[in-house]
Structure 1
Amino acid sequence: MRTILITGPGGSGRTTVAAATALAAAADGARTLVLSADRTDTLGAALGVRTGAAPVEAAPRLTAWRPDAATGFRDDLAAFQERATGALDLLGASRLDPEEVTPLPGAEELALLRALRDAALAEAHDLLVVDLPATPHALALLSLPEELRRYLRRLLPPERQAARALRPVLGRLAGVPMPAEWLYETAARWDLELAAVEAVVADRDTVVRLVAEPGPGGADAVRDAGLGLALRGLRPDVLIANRLLPEAEAGPGSWLAGPVAHQRKVTDEWSGAHDVRDVAHLGHDPRGTDDLAALAVPVVNGTSSTVEWPVTDRLADDGVLVWHIPLPGAHRDELDLIRRGDELVLEAGQFRRIVPLPSVLRRCTVDGAALRDGELRIRFAPDPGLWPRAR
């Protein structure tokens, strides 16, 4: 199953483009599911249907679904309270009733990730179109599975589970209660679920698509979005230039001449780094399948959004290994690197990621770094105390 993840700056029309993309794919014969986590049902308004916890048919071969975050949050809390009964009783804590629970911030995003995983595993559709939040929140959402898995590994290392049989003895020796069996089981289940979401995002049939309006601030928004995606090892397959004004009506003396010229300048700049597809302004907010079809949003089978970070061997020439990390749009003064054990903390502008070092680099020390042609190149020199010695 192919997956298209659609995001863009706030107000760029990404939900409308997601709905139009899904509708066009369904019209071409693909069994399509479009997902959204928007509380206000913007997706349903665009499609002319009401979406909610249960998937609804929006058009032939097109299903729309807006997962119910409240129900999922209550179910998870109820399950946790059931498993943690002993600990809660020990603390004298009273249980929360499902009726009094309000989803915490971020519950919509978690519900969307779960729905993304479930839809991919079900394989009931040919294409999955996901209306992600605005770019900063979308990037945080895409990074959530990796970050949560990292936290789980640090808090409950898998190797400690080998001591299950010795846990009562260890608890008496340490003088403190050891983690209960259910805690490890819950962590293992969460790790599997998060890994499944990561696998969908990293799949070769998954693409990330940007939507932006080439107006004031549009160029900066696209540049920031591209940099944030690059730090996640992703790149957009297509950039949708949305709400373009008609050039045919922008003749001399027309008030449209200035805005159209500015839009064309921005889209020309984008074309140097992206596969840009134009979508015209209808003159009103698109509502219903007729308007969405009139947008003529291209579905296109774009190339995979996953970007490799290769390590090149220059030991024979320079005595170093070089890690190549593509960061298009990055500036030297906004980059920061910190080596911490077997991990590297990368910061680029407002974005930050902690990545494990490739195994070959863990026995090396950082020897320097440089940003050239949109690519960060980090030099690693073998640590004599750890590097295998030739006989």
Structure 2
Amino acid sequence: MVSSAPHSSARHSSARRTVLVSGGGGSGRSTIAAALAREAAGTARTLLLAADDPHRSVDRLLDVRLSSEPTELEGGLFAARLDPQAAFRDAADRLLSRAKPLFDLLGVDPLERDELSALPGAAHLALLDALRTHAARGEWDVLVVDAPVVADLLAALALPEQLDRYLARLIPEQRQAARALRPVLAAVAGVPMPSDWVYEARSWAAAELDEVRAVTDAPGTTVRLVLDAPTGPRAGAALRQARAGLALHGQRVESLLVNRLVPDGGEPFLAGLHLEQQRQLAALRAEWDVPVHGVPHLGAEPGGAALFARLGLPPIGPSGPLPTPWPVEDLREGDEGALVWRIPLPGADRADLDLVRRGDDLVLGVGPYRRTVALPSALRRCTVAGAALREGVLAVRFTPDPQLWPGGR
């Protein structure tokens, strides 16, 4: 058996922890993130990053007005707020300084900082840049992120891989050899050839993306999903699809937190709701292979150490073992006569799957989530023979292409 997985540039210490708190809208992610950070600060220097808080909910929870620069609170807890507009201007400043030779060539003046306004998707880039920046500072042992909903979080986490693929397509490494031939090519073509700054900018961008992926792919980076107390099968289906999307992009779900469970009260309505929530909580625990924790409804908005402690959240400990790389199993000597690429997709539904082979890549889709991954070298000489989803694992069968792999079996 050969193990293979999409490119990973994880280099961070396994002792450092990054916990991304995500889930559905209105599920209480900010409250859970603030409580987790406060609890973690008791034993480690902890930074809480409010990355999806346009209405300053975290400010009210902590009774402080946060800015982009970390504010020190009591007991080793720090907190900061992500400002996508300011982050976009900072990133644009760095990019425009790199592109100055192009503006000089065109005879135009670059935009001033005050003229810049965040473009759609800038919040995703701002989140990634904040993860990279705070990890590089190395001042905290634990980073707790009040992250966006799962769809937006995955859109951000998928960006480095996507942008790296675009860079490789637009300015491949091999093309850098053309720099030595630029004078000759310019004379033949009759037009100026790209100068060194184009290739330097490509190397700079690739290095920046590698730094981001070193955080998102690090052994200590995990996701905690928050679910509002389940009320029906649709919530469970959306949750399973979210987990499959996270697995598709190599993100590990550490635990599931079921929020706002009502207590067992004497009133018939509350008693019935309590029984139904407990029934669905038990069903989730039977279905999921990660810890499922119930979080009580406090009857009031949490705030302060006493109320946060009543939530009873599991502490942030070691991240646990890394997921098994996507293995390629060689069955050519058996009855199947094929190589099988096994891709763990817990929670995926067969009806939501999409699979397309494009050259040396495989485009995988799970509902709204998509990812393009490079095929392992052995599978590039094969053709796709079929696929099956069983017990949360997608098995893609390949058969050797006689023209590329003489001898077949």
Residue among 190, 196, 208 paired with 2:205:
190
Residue among 232, 236, 245 paired with 1:228:
245
Deviation (angstroms), 1:264: 1.4
Whole-angstrom distance in 1 between the partners of 2:112 and 2:315: 45
Q: Give the letter aligned to residue 382 of structure 1.
A: P
Matches within 5 A, 1:39-58: 39-58=54-73
- SS of 1:215's partner is coil
Residue among 346, 353, 367 paired with 2:385:
367
Whole-angstrom distance in 2 between the partners of 1:200 and 1:388: 42
Quick one: structure 1 residues 122 and 68, their matched pair in 2 at CA, closer, same or farther if it must change by over 3 Å?
same
Whole-angstrom distance in 2 between the partners of 1:83 and 1:200: 24
TM-score (normalised: structure 1): 0.92
Partner of 1:204: 219
Whole-angstrom distance in 2 between the partners of 1:42 and 1:299: 22
Deviation (angstroms), 1:54: 1.0
**Contact 1:312–1:323, Cα closer than 8 Å, also in 2:** yes
**Contact 2:348–2:366, Cα closer than 8 Å, also in 1:** yes
Partner of 1:283: 299
Whole-angstrom distance in 2 between the partners of 1:258 and 1:92: 72
Q: Give the letter aligned to residue 342 of structure 2.
A: H
Which has the higher mean CA deviation after the structures are superposed, 321-330 or 256-265? 256-265
**Contact 2:241–2:366, Cα closer than 8 Å, also in 1:** no
Whole-angstrom distance in 2 between the partners of 1:80 and 1:193: 12
Whole-angstrom distance in 2 between the partners of 1:14 and 1:220: 19
Matches within 5 A, 1:149-168: 149-168=164-183
Q: Give the letter aligned to residue 223 of structure 1.
A: R
Whole-angstrom distance in 2 between the partners of 1:84 and 1:121: 25
- Segments of 4+ in structure 1 off by > 6 A? none
**Contact 1:32–1:63, Cα closer than 8 Å, also in 2:** yes
RMSD of the TM alignment (CA)?
2.1
Consecutive unaligned residues in structure 2, runs of 5 or more = 1-15
Partner of 2:254: 237
Which has the higher mean CA deviation after the structures are superposed, 76-85 or 35-44? 76-85
Quick one: structure 1 residues 76 and 327, their matched pair in 2 at CA, closer, same or farther if it must change by over 3 Å?
closer
Whole-angstrom distance in 2 between the partners of 1:129 and 1:263: 28
Whole-angstrom distance in 2 between the partners of 1:379 and 1:200: 32
Which has the higher mean CA deviation after the structures are superposed, 373-382 or 81-90? 81-90
Consecutive unaligned residues in structure 1, runs of 5 or more = none
Whole-angstrom distance in 1 between the partners of 2:365 and 2:123: 27
Partner of 1:320: 338
Whole-angstrom distance in 2 between the partners of 1:142 and 1:243: 28
Whole-angstrom distance in 2 between the partners of 1:286 and 1:305: 34
- SS of 1:371's partner is strand
- The share of aligned pairs that are identical, in percent, is 48
Q: Give the letter aligned to residue 297 of structure 1.
A: L
Whole-angstrom distance in 1 between the partners of 2:301 and 2:322: 30
**Contact 1:338–1:346, Cα closer than 8 Å, also in 2:** yes
Deviation (angstroms), 1:196: 1.8
Deviation (angstroms), 1:351: 1.3
**Contact 2:257–2:295, Cα closer than 8 Å, also in 1:** yes
Deviation (angstroms), 1:131: 1.6
Q: Give the letter aligned to residue 311 of structure 1.
A: V
Which has the higher mean CA deviation after the structures are superposed, 82-91 or 342-351? 82-91
Deviation (angstroms), 1:357: 0.7
Quick one: structure 1 residues 368 and 133, their matched pair in 2 at CA, closer, same or farther if it must change by over 3 Å?
same
Which has the higher mean CA deviation after the structures are superposed, 149-158 or 162-171? 162-171
Aligned: 1:17 with 2:32: yes
Partner of 2:156: 141
Deviation (angstroms), 1:41: 2.5
TM-score (normalised: structure 2): 0.88
Partner of 2:17: 2
CA displacement 1:203-232 (0-9 Å, x = unmatched): 222211111112334322311211111211
Partner of 2:6: none
Quick one: structure 1 residues 299 and 384, their matched pair in 2 at CA, closer, same or farther if it must change by over 3 Å?
same
Aligned: 1:303 with 2:320: yes
Quick one: structure 1 residues 186 and 40, their matched pair in 2 at CA, closer, same or farther if it must change by over 3 Å?
farther
